Amino acid sequence: MVYHARYLDFFERARADWLRHLSFESSRLVRDFGVILVVRKLALNYHHPARLDDEVDVSVDAVDVGRAQVTIAQSVRRAGLMLADASVNLALIHACKFMPVRFPLALKEALQHYV
């Protein structure tokens, strides 16, 4: 069986790939905007176990975009069967001051296409 905490790794990797697909990978957020996205809150539900060597699909969908945070829905599926799903709230913070900041307009617009 896949250890329960490994699902967090699956979700993290999918979010990083999703942001890269939107052209807002973590290094660009820091370099161009001086910000980072951090997990603020997470609710995770387990439905069925994944097994070693299972091929799984991990999805990411923005469900609510605020001024300084975004809530996304994520799921892990095997051949369409829901294994786990999560609601993940991400906050945008200043890379040096670690204080919340508003989304740059370009990033907010890119995220809102998934709402």
pLDDT of residue 106: 95
**Can you tell me the distance from the alpha carbon of 51 to that of 21, in angstroms, rounded to the nearest whole number?**
28
- CA–CA separation, 51 vs 100, rounded Å? 38
Q: Residue 9's pLDDT is what?
A: 97
Evaluate whether 50 touches 56 at the Cβ level (below 8 Å).
Answer: yes
Whether the CB-CB separation of 115 and 62 falls below 8 Å is answered with yes
| pLDDT single digits (tens) 63-115 | 899 999 999 999 999 999 999 999 999 999 999 999 999 999 999 999 988 87
Domain ranges of the chain: 6-112
CATH number of 6-112: 3.10.129.10
For 43-74, the pLDDT digits (tens) are 999 999 999 999 999 999 988 999 999 999 99
Q: Is the dihedral of CA 106, 31, 71, 87 positive or negative?
A: positive
